[in-house]
Amino acid sequence: MKAIVHVRPRSGVLDPQGQAVAGALKHLGFDEVLEARQGKVIELVLADGDETKARERVEQMCKHLLANTVIEDYQVSIEP
């Protein structure tokens, strides 16, 4: 089973990497870009087991290591 975790800066939190991406895209002529937010995707391969238990464990991983919950939001999806 695989868990995919999307981590993004919370709304309202300064995102210098996102600002740099938006600025670079505008410089390249992509004027339709108003804002960019940069995050990360983490893929975890898990031992087969109960999907509910796997989600609970990955949520714990996010709270302890994978995301800084003060300034980042995360979303977990589990694939069989």
* Mean pLDDT taken over the chain: 97
Q: Decide: 45 and 78 in contact? Cβ < 8 Å.
A: no
Calpha distance 7→23 (Å, rounded):
22
Q: Decide: 1 and 77 in contact? Cβ < 8 Å.
A: no
- Residue 48's nearest CA partner among 8, 12, 1 is 1
Domains of the chain: 2-79 (3.30.1280.10)
Q: 41-60 pLDDT, tens per residue?
A: 999 999 988 999 999 999 99
Calpha distance 24→43 (Å, rounded):
28
Q: Which pLDDT does position 48 carry in this prediction? A: 84
67: three-class secondary structure by DSSP:
coil
